[in-house]
Structure 1
Amino acid sequence: MVHTIGAGKGGTRRADPGRTDRPPAEIAGLATYLATDTAGFITGATYDINGGVLMRPPQGETRTTKHSHLAERHSPPTAHHQTSTTDSRHYRMFSLRRDLRRLFRTSAPFSVSRPPDLACCPGYRVGVGIPELIEQLAAPEMEARQAAGAALVAAGAAAVGPVLAVLCNEASPVYWGDPANVLRRIGDPAFDPVLDVILSTGTEEVRRRARWTFGGIEVSDLTRYAEVLAHPDSSIRDTAAFVLQNAGSAALPMAPALVPLLTDADEDVCQRAVWAFAGIGPGVIPLLRRVRRSTAPQRRQALTALAEVGGWDALDAADQRLVERLIAVKLRDEKPASMHLCGGWYALPTKDQGAVLEAFGLSDAMTVTMRLGESAWNSDHHGGTLGHEHGRCSRTYVSPVLDGWTLVFGDPPGSAHSASAETESGRRQYIRRRCAELSGVFGAAHWYGESCGDGWTAWCLAEHGRIIRCYDVFEPEDQVGNGHAAEDGYRLPHEDGGFPEGWIDGIDVSDTAALQERYEQVKRDFAIPDVCHAADIAGRLSVDPSELDERTSVLGHGVLALTACGRRYGTPRGALHI
């Protein structure tokens, strides 16, 4: 059974002939029924009841690191703040009727088409106004909260003030995300009131909630956000650009208004403008190229934006020559530096870069700095699939010769496609085959893998066409070989270290310094060896990229080269460090 309810302007519901005017709670009762598993779905953008649970982010503070680029790119400007301590109370039911009635004395009725046999719907109630609906937002049952939210959205402009008051009340038992989502879905009538709260003298927590709400209001015309891109408040400029970023190509007519933000006084706004251009897509390339050929103060930043939108291919011939000249200058006195490791790389005991390129089926090699090679590897691994299905397997960074070894960073097409075809076992089998094949050509071949996020680490060692050792912390039962000399003095990551029971008693686990101190003390007292990771094994057998420094010998220069996927589909987008 499907009921379709059409929407009119200003929160009024357009009904078929024979409609009946009903208060918001009547819609809440209907929505409660339709949210059940047996009732089917309500169609239309407003009554998206079965589409999913309202956003409830984890409690506590969300922390970011220098490597959380993608999380920051796709998070609203206010996402990385501590949530209110009152949020944990949203699961409990409180009686708000007296306080809410004091705040909101009346609620305007609105029109709705009424399906047949409404009285038989479970949970259907009549005679409930906006204050009672807001009270229902604190209900422990998800269906009740969703139904109340749907009814408040249907009430439109009449519900904005009451719902906004709850959003701004830090003592409210209603989880703030619920009124925030209601205001977002109400759309245009909520735009200016929410903006006013951001500019108010309220607490930072209230303004944070308002900024989050403002970043997702379902406006009828994106021009409303474009108009505030020049607002004096940097958080509003940032949020407006974020909305255009998420709007994709629909925001293309507003793209010229983003150009001034490339030189905004706030660095976060500058970065957001670059991401917004990338989010809008390739349609902005002609605009940014015109900025590059103009005398506008945003010329330099427009180059970064072009690279973020479409990578190397988005640059015109003049800019490509410019970048090549800059790389040549940087190469003159570049020194090795520690690399951030996240992904997989091969190590080959050879100085023959041409042979390495041939062995990996690479072409169109472009000489790059070591910093640019690292940047490309990290960018492709963390976000290579953004706008590019084969972004992770389109190019490879081949290092200069480092202490006699050539390192190959990236996810070759065979490895990437094996992993996506079925399970990670296909990826492991591919890596083993490749190591055996490469060792037959170069005498030895190592593969190493590290993750900056989940503790994953792995290595595969081959000599003269034969695998001698393989280990993956996530699949320890699938090892090859009984250890290796390079692992001596370490314990493998999956092994129990023999820590005594209660070794962290009396330590606040949130106090990382104290926890680390106790950990080191217990290791010393009980002679517990350190855990080894791929970088440790690489440091003993070949080269640890995270330990590169001025003492590392360097021969030649590194290159970025295209794989078969790169030749067919082009290079990934993304601005890289040179």
Structure 2
Amino acid sequence: MGKINSDRLKTLLAEGTVHELAQRARYEREPAELLEEARELVTDPDPTVRRQAWDALDLVVDDSTRADLFALVLRDLEPEQFRRLLTDPDPVVRNRAGWVNIVVVGYPSRHTTALELLADDRFEYAWPECIEVLRRDPPVKTLVSEYIEAPPDLRKRLSVALGLPAATPLLEVSPEGCSTQVHCWPFTWCSGVVAARECPHLPLSIALLGSSLHAVRDEAMNIVEGFGPGATDLLRSARRSLPAARRNALLLLAGFGWDHIPAEDRRALQRLIRIKQVSETPEPLPVLDAHGGWYAFPTTDQAAVLDALDLTDPVPATLRMGSAVMERSSYYPDQPNPEVFVTPALDGWTVAYCKNEVLGGLAPRAVSTEHRHDLYQRLEELSRRFGSAHWYEHFGVDDYTFLTWSQWCIAREGEIRMHCVSSDDVWVYRCEESNPVDSLGELKAWIEAHDIGRANRRDDEERAEAYEDVLGERHGDDRLPDEHDAAEESDEDGRPTAATWEQNLLFGAWAAAEHLSVDLTDLGPHTHVHGTAVLAVPRTQRDHHRRGVLPI
């Protein structure tokens, strides 16, 4: 009978980490053979040999490296070897099965073996270990499907594997919800769109929103979201009768549509928002996370801003909710979003921010003559009402190189004073006729001359270096290109051409807003806040489904 060469394994581990031993085993004969011998012994058909081999392997390592070495030895087990471990009469050996990779290329999933044993009364003694194996990277869809077909006793064990109490009750579709349909895409049993009352997977999937296992809850969120709005009836029931699932059920209801949230929950959320509005401190908005367009007006009259932009149905919002709307990754970015976030007055300025074209932005596309005409007309009218009206727009073009496209346009007392686009170059389409801007230096001076006095001066040195870098790229020539020479600011695929980080630090929308209105990247305890924020929609889109999960 062979035995593990403990002394040689200790020597190899003393020469490096377990990870380094794994690398050596790929190219060197001795470590590869030692690991293979250990693998054969700890999965030997004889239970006595298995236990002795594990005892020897235990002495090779200490607590800090035990898990890594066990995982290395048990890598790429064949199904029968894994089955021996999982059915060993000794619970210490059975426990070692937990170190086996769940899915290995070329072999069936270890979950399959665990499921087979969990359904076999001969291996009742091994059920706890089988459940632990299933809880590692749990195959939620598979377990839900198995549950539907399983007898009552096996269902109890599968419930435990899914992080539910064995006696978890499943919800029933109410008579009002019987006619709704769900898209049962994750499960081949239903295969497509079916009536909610006929989908056996839906009640269990909703119950899993309250699983004690984080991985199961996350997967259940994805599954239930995939069922579609037809799941809302059971989600509302879960809010009342499944305490552990209440929070995730509410999140999904908000995602399907705010109108699906039960009235008592809406009232509770409104109270919470009101409380947060009173106590919250403004926080800076990370520039790289915010993509969209925004108006800025020097006014504290939020109602006048809503009226001027023809926004309706305002609902209370915290600044944190508004920041989430601004972030690129939030709020269903691939679907139309009519929500406009209107801030309270921040140091005397009210901002209206949106993610797409609902306020007249490009979202993004080339600055055409027609677009400029519409933009100027709109800002001229708004500036007559508020004395000044600013439009800023910023979009990321390349997440890896921080290339961006942006524009900003300033109107005062019914006249356009400056319109600048930062793309492949710096384009000035309109400026004060009495003070023309023909160079980067003059544009920089114009921005500084119209500074309202709150710009953060900590980055002056960084801006000076950026200016030198921009001039270097232009070989010292700071002349602005002629508007008539401007090609459409998009490439042959229709994507907007982009500006460098240095160029936008000086002439982009965020840089201009920092000097000319309110710097959303420098909000904090020093910011004077007057009033509260709201989320509103354009009157033309008031019937649009309002949805999304936003942090309060």
**TM-score, with normalisation over the residues of structure 1?**
0.49
| CA distances 1:249-293 after superposition (whole Å, capped 9, x unpaired) | 569622222223323445454344333323321101101001012
In the alignment, the residues of structure 2 paired with residue 396 and residue 262 of structure 1 have an alpha-carbon distance, to the nearest angstrom, of 31
In the alignment, the residues of structure 2 paired with residue 346 and residue 333 of structure 1 have an alpha-carbon distance, to the nearest angstrom, of 26
In the alignment, the residues of structure 1 paired with residue 285 and residue 149 of structure 2 have an alpha-carbon distance, to the nearest angstrom, of 42
Match of 1:498 in 2: 472
Residue 348 of structure 2 aligns with an amino acid whose one-letter code is G
In the alignment, the residues of structure 1 paired with residue 411 and residue 418 of structure 2 have an alpha-carbon distance, to the nearest angstrom, of 7
Match of 1:570 in 2: 545
In the alignment, the residues of structure 2 paired with residue 276 and residue 270 of structure 1 have an alpha-carbon distance, to the nearest angstrom, of 10
Q: Give the alignment of 1:241-320 within 5 angstroms.
A: 243=186, 249=193, 253=199, 254-310=201-257, 312-320=258-266
| CA distances 1:466-508 after superposition (whole Å, capped 9, x unpaired) | 222222223644632322546456699998441699xxxxxxx
In the alignment, the residues of structure 2 paired with residue 532 and residue 464 of structure 1 have an alpha-carbon distance, to the nearest angstrom, of 23
Shift of the alpha carbon at 1:542? 1.3
Match of 1:356 in 2: 305
Mean CA deviation greater in 487-496 or 349-358: 487-496
Match of 1:141 in 2: none
| CA distances 1:13-48 after superposition (whole Å, capped 9, x unpaired) | xxxxxxxxxxxxxxxxxxxxxxxxxxxxxxxxxxxx
Residue 464 of structure 1 aligns with an amino acid whose one-letter code is E
Gap change, CA 1:225 and 1:565, over 3 Å in 2:
farther
| CA distances 1:55-82 after superposition (whole Å, capped 9, x unpaired) | xxxxxxxxxxxxxxxxxxxxxxxxxxxx
Q: Give the alignment of 1:502-521 within 5 angstroms.
A: none
Gap change, CA 1:275 and 1:433, over 3 Å in 2:
farther
Residue 410 of structure 1 aligns with an amino acid whose one-letter code is C
Unaligned runs of 5+ in 1: 1-164, 166-190, 202-210, 235-240, 502-518
In the alignment, the residues of structure 2 paired with residue 266 and residue 428 of structure 1 have an alpha-carbon distance, to the nearest angstrom, of 54
Which of 510, 520, 529 is residue 535 of structure 1 equivalent to? Answer: 510
Shift of the alpha carbon at 1:302? 0.9
Q: Give the alignment of 1:112-511 within 5 angstroms.
A: 196-197=108-109, 199=111, 223=145, 232=161, 243=186, 249=193, 253=199, 254-310=201-257, 312-340=258-286, 341-378=290-327, 383-386=332-335, 391-392=336-337, 394-410=338-354, 415=359, 425=368, 429-452=373-396, 454=398, 455-474=404-423, 476-477=426-427, 479-481=429-431, 482=437, 483=443, 485=445, 487=447, 496-498=470-472
Gap change, CA 1:456 and 1:356, over 3 Å in 2:
same
Secondary structure in 2 matching 1:397: strand
Asked whether the 8 Å contact 2:394–2:407 carries over to 1, the reply is: yes
1:560 paired with 2:504, answer no
Shift of the alpha carbon at 1:446? 1.1
In the alignment, the residues of structure 2 paired with residue 380 and residue 416 of structure 1 have an alpha-carbon distance, to the nearest angstrom, of 21
Secondary structure in 1 matching 2:525: coil
Asked whether the 8 Å contact 1:412–1:563 carries over to 2, the reply is: no
In the alignment, the residues of structure 2 paired with residue 382 and residue 494 of structure 1 have an alpha-carbon distance, to the nearest angstrom, of 39
The number of residue pairs the alignment matches comes to: 340
Gap change, CA 1:416 and 1:541, over 3 Å in 2:
closer
Asked whether the 8 Å contact 1:493–1:532 carries over to 2, the reply is: no
Residue 437 of structure 1 aligns with an amino acid whose one-letter code is E
Asked whether the 8 Å contact 2:380–2:415 carries over to 1, the reply is: yes
In the alignment, the residues of structure 2 paired with residue 376 and residue 244 of structure 1 have an alpha-carbon distance, to the nearest angstrom, of 33
Residue 557 of structure 1 aligns with an amino acid whose one-letter code is T
In the alignment, the residues of structure 2 paired with residue 423 and residue 530 of structure 1 have an alpha-carbon distance, to the nearest angstrom, of 21
Secondary structure in 2 matching 1:538: helix
In the alignment, the residues of structure 2 paired with residue 317 and residue 575 of structure 1 have an alpha-carbon distance, to the nearest angstrom, of 17
| CA distances 1:503-530 after superposition (whole Å, capped 9, x unpaired) | xxxxxxxxxxxxxxxx99xx9xxxx996
Asked whether the 8 Å contact 1:258–1:273 carries over to 2, the reply is: yes
Asked whether the 8 Å contact 1:460–1:469 carries over to 2, the reply is: yes
Shift of the alpha carbon at 1:577? 0.7
Shift of the alpha carbon at 1:568? 2.6
Indicate the percent of aligned positions where both proteins have the same amino acid. 31
**TM-score, with normalisation over the residues of structure 2?**
0.52
In the alignment, the residues of structure 1 paired with residue 392 and residue 512 of structure 2 have an alpha-carbon distance, to the nearest angstrom, of 9
In the alignment, the residues of structure 1 paired with residue 104 and residue 465 of structure 2 have an alpha-carbon distance, to the nearest angstrom, of 60
In the alignment, the residues of structure 2 paired with residue 419 and residue 529 of structure 1 have an alpha-carbon distance, to the nearest angstrom, of 18
Max radius of gyration: which structure? 2
Asked whether the 8 Å contact 1:337–1:548 carries over to 2, the reply is: yes
In the alignment, the residues of structure 1 paired with residue 513 and residue 149 of structure 2 have an alpha-carbon distance, to the nearest angstrom, of 54
Secondary structure in 2 matching 1:479: strand
Shift of the alpha carbon at 1:441? 1.1
Gap change, CA 1:415 and 1:559, over 3 Å in 2:
closer
Q: Give the alignment of 1:48-59 within 5 angstroms.
A: none
Shift of the alpha carbon at 1:319? 1.6
Match of 1:549 in 2: 524
Unaligned runs of 5+ in 2: 1-76, 78-102, 114-135, 151-157, 164-183, 399-403, 432-436, 438-442, 449-462, 476-499
Q: C-alpha root-mean-square deviation of aligned residues, in Å? A: 4.7
Asked whether the 8 Å contact 1:264–1:270 carries over to 2, the reply is: yes
Residue 400 of structure 1 aligns with an amino acid whose one-letter code is P
Residue 387 of structure 2 aligns with an amino acid whose one-letter code is G
Residue 398 of structure 1 aligns with an amino acid whose one-letter code is V
Gap change, CA 1:451 and 1:423, over 3 Å in 2:
closer
Asked whether the 8 Å contact 2:407–2:422 carries over to 1, the reply is: yes
Residue 449 of structure 1 aligns with an amino acid whose one-letter code is E
In the alignment, the residues of structure 2 paired with residue 417 and residue 456 of structure 1 have an alpha-carbon distance, to the nearest angstrom, of 12
Gap change, CA 1:433 and 1:492, over 3 Å in 2:
farther
Residue 346 of structure 2 aligns with an amino acid whose one-letter code is L
In the alignment, the residues of structure 2 paired with residue 275 and residue 534 of structure 1 have an alpha-carbon distance, to the nearest angstrom, of 36
Shift of the alpha carbon at 1:397? 1.0
Secondary structure in 2 matching 1:459: strand
